[in-house]
Amino acid sequence: EPEVTQTPSHQVTQMGQEVILRCVPISNHLYFYWYRQILGQKVEFLVSFYNNEISEKSEIFDDQFSVERPDGSNFTLKIRSTKLEDSAMYFCASSFRSNQPQHFGDGTRLSIL
Amino acid sequence: EDQVTQSPEALRLQEGESSSLNCSYTVSGLRGLFWYRQDPGKGPEFLFTLYSAGEEKEKERLKATLTKKESFLHITAPKPEDSATYLCAVQARGGSSNTGKLIFGQGTTLQVKP
């Protein structure tokens, strides 16, 4: 069964450094998402992406965050200057249509020191 | 404000002891309600989608139902392998752009003892 893959599984970065989280969505899906989950808290929406542009972003997704689909298979989340509070599990998801089930990867655990 | 609340936060069952998990939601207009299962260290795994009140979906020992204010996930004769965190998420209707944003509840952590 097709699945969403994320790399790396764990990223440790110094505060202030840039980090890029990578995702390969399911191949025929058209909608792409990033969510994050701080330990012990709810899964929170960050951004949705369709037709090569951001369709919605949350208040969390400020100027330090950006997303890109550099080719036909990858979807990336960049954090320009990481803060301690960016430490969380980051999940990528994709769906064929916006109201259809989103399929999630197993996440990247981001630890900011 | 769109909101999802799940109860209970934690549930311990004996193997074979049936029970229900609740997901209450307030949204401007429901576009869809989704149930996911999450194992420790893993991403949410899709279980069910419900789109309108009165709809029911069933898979093995799980059955999801939907009303205008809440959804239930019924677990019949659970087994230890059903132990996981169950997440409920809703999509709200949003003006001219339905972007697919999911709003999650905090989850119910289920432990089934043999």
Residue A96 touches chain B, beta carbons under 8 Å: no
Sorted by sequence, the CB contacts under 8 Å of residue B82 that are 6+ apart come out as B61, B75, B110, B112
Which residues of chain B have a CB within 8 Å of the CB of A35?
102
Whether residue A56 and residue B101 make contact (CB cut-off 8 A), yes or no, is yes
What pLDDT shows up at residue B95?
59
* Residue ranges of E strands in B8-107: 10-14, 19-26, 30-38, 45-50, 56-59, 62-66, 70-75, 84-92, 103-104
Which residues of chain A have a CB within 8 Å of the CB of B84?
none
Whether residue B31 and residue A99 make contact (CB cut-off 8 A), yes or no, is yes
pLDDT digits (tens, 9 = 90+) for B79-93: 999 999 999 999 988
Sorted by sequence, the CB contacts under 8 Å of residue B95 that are 6+ apart come out as none
Which residues of chain B have a CB within 8 Å of the CB of A95?
100
Please, which residues 56-85 of chain B have a Cβ atom closer than 8 Å to chain A? none
Cross-strand bridge partners of residue A79: A19, A65
pLDDT digits (tens, 9 = 90+) for B54-74: 999 999 999 999 999 999 999
Measured CA distances, B48 to A96, A97, B34, B37 (Å) = 16, 16, 6, 10
pLDDT at B99 over 90: no
Query: What six digits make up the tokens of B91?
Result: 């999509």
Q: How many residues does chain A have?
A: 113
Which residues of chain A have a CB within 8 Å of the CB of B51?
99
Whether residue A91 and residue B98 make contact (CB cut-off 8 A), yes or no, is no
Measured CA distances, A70 to A23, A74, A75 (Å) = 11, 6, 7
Q: How far apart are CA B34 and CA B94, in angstroms?
A: 17
Tens-level pLDDT at each residue, chain A (113 residues): 779 999 999 999 999 999 999 999 999 999 999 999 999 899 999 999 999 999 999 999 999 999 999 887 899 999 999 999 999 999 999 999 999 999 999 999 999 99
Distance from CA of B45 to the nearest CA of A (A): 7
Distance from CA of B43 to the nearest CA of A (A): 4
